[in-house]
Amino acid sequence: MTVNLYQTGVSGLMAAQQQLATTGHNIANVNTEGYTRQRAEQNSALGINNGSNYIGSGTYIQDITRLYDQFSHKEQLLTQSNLSNADLLHARLTQLDQVMAASGNAIVGSLDNFYQALNGVADNPNDSGLRSIVLNQAGILSNNLNELTNNFDRMSKAVNGEIEQIANRISEISLEIAKINETILSSQNLSQGGQPNDLLDKRDQLIGQLSEFTRVTTVEDGNGVLTVMIGQGTTLVAGITPMTLRVKAGDPDTQKIQLSLVSNNSSVAINGTILGGSLAANFEFRDENLSQIRTEIDRLAMAISATLNDSQASGLDLNGVQGANIFTDINTTQLQQGRVLVPSRNTGTTQAQVTINDVSLLPTDEFEIRFDGANFTLYNLTSGGSENLGAPGAGVPAGTHTPTSPDYGFSFVETGVPVAGDIFVIIPTKNSAALMQTTLTNGNAIAASAAIAVTPSSNNVSDGKVEITNVTNPVAARSYDVTVDVYESAPGTFSYRVYDTATPPPAPTIAAGTYAAGASVLIDIPAGTPDFQIEISGDLVGSGTNARETFTLGDAFGVGNGNNAVSMAKTQELGVTNGGRETFSKSLSVSTSVVGAKASNANLSADTAQALYTQAYNRNQASSGVNLDEEAANLMKYQQAYQAASQIISTANTLFDTILAAVR
């Protein structure tokens, strides 16, 4: 009896000692990140049969368990991934918003200064100083656009660098988790219970770190070994086998690095945008937000260059020469070839480029052209539309394919022999801002003077008019001395004649025809390959029946003529981009405001994600975290149990001594 009492006391003492140790372990790790509270599970020992009774034989600690709630832990992992994604996207968009605000203001300022200087030339076309100011402001404008794209490049490189760092860290975590799995597997003892709690905490801590970078899903087998999957189910750790993430140059765009999952000698490409966490946020920012604003700025730079170059080409400089380009030609060979990205898997010999036909029609979409063995097909990757462009070598000139439904304002030009399966990625605006330069160096070369002018007859009485809408060859246009007359040949119908002033009808006319009241007509002079174009509009009704309204067109060149500079200055208020609905300044302000709105929305999303994560974290801590007040109470309880068990042992010793004394 005394021996049993002694053993009972010792079991209670040992149990209280382990409970005290577990409580002390909890208290010591209250500030340890990723630590899960532990508890000593105490059970009573089987009683000893004594006659018809079972006498209790004490207690024992069955297991040291983690107070782990897998549901709250998984919720915390999910919200952690969402928070990291939202925080990084917010930080990136805020940086982009700041860049656009600063650079946008600089571009708008330089654009205004350029047009202000151009207006000065329009007022005083023979002032060389004002002409030099125009070129100086043009240089500032192109430099500001160059600098903005340089900022985009720096941001893109920073994102690529972070993607590579995250990929390396994920690979390290994968290796560490696989090692912990191996340790857990090798430490299993089928004859005993218990788990390596602190090792499991370390593994969960690594999973938590992984959830910051990507969405994580885990599956645990019967041996406690964990399979870890990232994104939408891609296996990163298969038991004791780790996989690694590696980055490689993008294909076809080498500046957009891509991810692949590597195991032994196999490699599988991974879509980074679906991985979740900060990794997906980097891909989303680079491939969507940054790419979109870059395309819009490229389109703006292209629109500025094309519009001002075309306007310059319509006039004559101080030497009577057709105006040369102010900015880089939008269809240089370098730009045309740079708009086509060719994947490395193409096997054909096709050389391709993209020619811009109409800047006002250019979208900010990306396209793919695929060859099926017979025809090229254009796919709009943004809207999902498609169009058959015909067989290789088709079009005019041969090998030129121009989309028509809708007309995107560009043509795909190919030479060589394509092979079925060949793909060409088309970015129509690519590099326009980065390669934009002010190519005009001599202020006297600014084409301020108009080549030809319209003079209405003093006898005209109607509000109708004849306007010069386009001049393609201003030098040749100067040689024309043309008369236009219009009269109402029938009610609601107007007849016009365009003829050489020196040889009026009945000599042959340059052009003749009719148009309806309220309409207008465009006339190429000469027909076929025109040197200039005029538009007749309005109801040109003379003062009497069949009275003709007359206009003369003739040479207008002069060093004091600033009419073409006036036309160039008017392009500031001309709708050019987005189907001709937006001016240069409006296009830039819309792009800037869209980025600002995205940054604001990202801020709200980040705040929401933070609140959800905090709630999930608190719920998990409520069940798994260490509460010092609770542990202090347990410490007192187990201390009292330890002292009471000591008294049992002391009593057993006293009884044993009494028995020994009785038999001496």
SS (H, E, C) 303-371: HHHHHHHHHHHCEECCCCCECCCCECCCCCHHHHHHCEECCCCCCCCCEEEEEECCHHHCCCCCEEEEE
Instruction: Give residue 230's pLDDT.
Output: 94
Whether the ω angle into residue 526 lies within 30 degrees of 0, i.e. cis, is: yes
Instruction: Give residue 191's pLDDT.
Output: 45
CA dihedral 27, 33, 37, 38 (to 10 degrees): -90
Which one, of 308, 402, 423, 293, lies nearest residue 357 by Cα?
402
Is residue 246 within 8 Å of residue 259, measured between CB atoms? Answer: yes
* Residues 659, 3: Cα–Cα separation, whole Å: 12
* Residues 544, 582: Cα–Cα separation, whole Å: 44
Burial degree of 231 (CB within 10 A; 0-12, 13-18, 19+): buried
Phi, psi of 456 (to 5 degrees): -75, 150
Domain boundaries, the chain: 2-67+626-662, 331-426, 452-555
CA dihedral 103, 109, 115, 118 (to 10 degrees): -100
* CA distance readout (Å), 449 to 22, 175, 311: 93, 73, 11
* Residues 161, 156: Cα–Cα separation, whole Å: 9
Instruction: Give residue 653's pLDDT.
Output: 85
In sign, the C-alpha dihedral spanning 644, 650, 654, 656 is positive
Which one, of 219, 257, 230, lies nearest residue 170 by Cα?
230
* CA distance readout (Å), 253 to 158, 419, 452: 17, 21, 48
What are residue 380's DSSP bridge partners?
Answer: 367
Which one, of 340, 341, 343, lies nearest residue 422 by Cα?
343
* Residues 570, 573: Cα–Cα separation, whole Å: 6
Is residue 131 within 8 Å of residue 446, measured between CB atoms? Answer: yes
* Residues 291, 285: Cα–Cα separation, whole Å: 8
Is residue 87 within 8 Å of residue 602, measured between CB atoms? Answer: no
Q: Which long-range contacts (CB under 8 A, 24 or more apart) does 584-590 make?
A: 584/111, 584/300, 584/303, 584/304, 585/108, 585/111, 585/112, 587/296, 587/299, 587/300, 587/303, 588/104, 588/107, 588/108, 588/297, 588/300, 589/104, 589/108
* Residues 231, 214: Cα–Cα separation, whole Å: 6
Instruction: Give residue 2's pLDDT.
Output: 54
Instruction: Give residue 190's pLDDT.
Output: 44
CA dihedral 439, 444, 449, 452 (to 10 degrees): -80
Instruction: Give residue 497's pLDDT.
Output: 95
Q: Which letter, b or e, does each residue of 489-523 get, where b requires 16 or more Cβ atoms within 10 Å of its Cβ? A: eeeeebbbbbbeeeeeeeeebbbeeebeeeeebeb
Instruction: Give residue 160's pLDDT.
Output: 96
pTM of the model: 0.89
Instruction: Give residue 453's pLDDT.
Output: 95
Mean pLDDT by 10 residues, the chain (664 residues): 75 89 92 90 80 78 88 92 96 96 94 96 94 96 96 96 96 95 78 75 93 94 90 92 93 91 87 93 96 96 96 95 96 96 93 95 94 96 92 93 93 95 96 96 95 94 92 95 94 93 94 93 93 94 85 94 95 90 93 95 96 94 90 91 87 82 76
